[in-house]
Amino acid sequence: MQYEEILHRCFRCGFCKLPSDYSDINCPAYLRYRFESFSPGGRMWLIRAWLDGNIQADARFQEVLFSCATCNNCVEHCIFPKFKDQLLNAFIAAKAALVDEGRLPPQVRDYLTRLLEHGNPYKMPRKKRGNWASELGIESYAGQEYLFYVGDVGSFDESGARIARSVANVFRKLGLSFGILGEKEGSDGNEARALGETELFKHLAERNIDVFKQLGVEKVVTLSPHGYNALKNDYPELGGEFQVFHYTQLLVERLPAIELPDSPDFAFPRKATFHDPCYLGRHNQDYESARQVLDLLPGIERVEMKRSGADALCCGGGGGNFFTDLVSSGAETAAKVRVREAADTLGADMLGADKGAGFLVTACPVCTLMLEDAVKSQNLDGRIQVREISELVAEQLF
């Protein structure tokens, strides 16, 4: 198996499941299951036992491997600099071996089958890909400066489409020259790759790369950090060399040129805390763009959660788990812990519901939906409101 060396070098010290101050559990899979085998060190021990022929790839082993949310906390915090970059790749390589053998949890098999058969996990026809924009009259891409790549969640999830419209409206207000692909767009394949379905990832990526090249695309701006990650880091190996941006990176450059209203549409400064999406932060080291956007908004006072930046607790939606639910069901999930941490940080109960709740802000449609669900399921609606940052910007611009 590729990247096997880390399996033999790992000290099993356990630092990789923690944030840098060791104060809490930062691996969403371990947090959900609380068995050592679900922690990064534990899953390496199991993979090694499996490679040595000592255990079978049974349902439990499959659950351990596919519950990894690919949050990169373990890579960030492993104390072994020489080999730590192999960690997540080793987990993905083990998943790829199970995909080849057809040994998958049913939820993962269903997700990949939907992606293979329909080109998206929502089983929606390709011709409906541009429906999210049908009432906005957004132009199809035809040589504008940027291609706005929306992805599966922005195209087909009702709330994801709401966020895609909000980003598009903000782009227009900023005078950005952009177009969309509509039915020519395909899934970015980021989750297929994370789940070890390498061939499906290649197929999806190469199809997008062909379309981009045929249309002469040079600059791509993505809605989701997941798409941003695939296009920026994985497409070049397949011949797809484009300048790739997450939309917050364009906002931070262009918002200062716009006159924002002095007094926002709420009564007094609101506290806002930013949840770092793993595919923007730990995978791509952009911890600042969204925070700078927040700081430009009048009436917003930014406060930090104890776990932020490289120490942020993942929402549990990565690695396909947004669709497969392997780490997002149960009493104690990463998303539930995260929204309680946000509520404590914002101290919104001290403000009182009549004066308005604080904002838990993020910059990813997957994080937004995971956190919104967790707020509702714990009846925290009166204390915090989840906002995708484009929506917060749009609320002040329109």
Q: Summarize as ranges the residues that interact with ligand SF4 (CB under 6 A).
A: 10-16, 27-29, 40-41, 68-74, 78-80, 87-88
- Which residue, 43 or 129, is less far from ligand SF4 as judged by CB? 43
Considering the complex, state which of residue 46 and residue 181 has its C-beta at the smaller distance from ligand SF4: 46
Q: How far is the CB of 26 from ligand SF4 (least distance, A)?
A: 7
**CB nearer ligand SF4, residue 73 or residue 120:** 73
Q: How far is the CB of 303 from ligand SF4 (least distance, A)?
A: 25
Shortest separation between residue 198's beta carbon and ligand SF4, angstroms = 18
Minimum CB distance to ligand SF4, residue 85 (Å): 11
Shortest Å distance, C-beta 45 to ligand SF4: 9
Q: Taking the complex as a whole, how short is the minimal distance between the CB of residue 37 and ligand SF4, in angstroms?
A: 11
Q: Judged by CB, which is closer to ligand SF4: 66, or 146?
A: 66
| Strand-strand pairing, 270-274 and 300-303 | parallel
| Closer residue to ligand SF4 (CB): 75 or 168 | 75
* Between 321 and 385, CB nearer to ligand SF4: 321
Q: Which is nearer to ligand SF4, 20 or 134 (CB)?
A: 20
The minimum distance between CB 51 and ligand SF4, in angstroms, equals 16
Structure tokens at 124: 């929606």
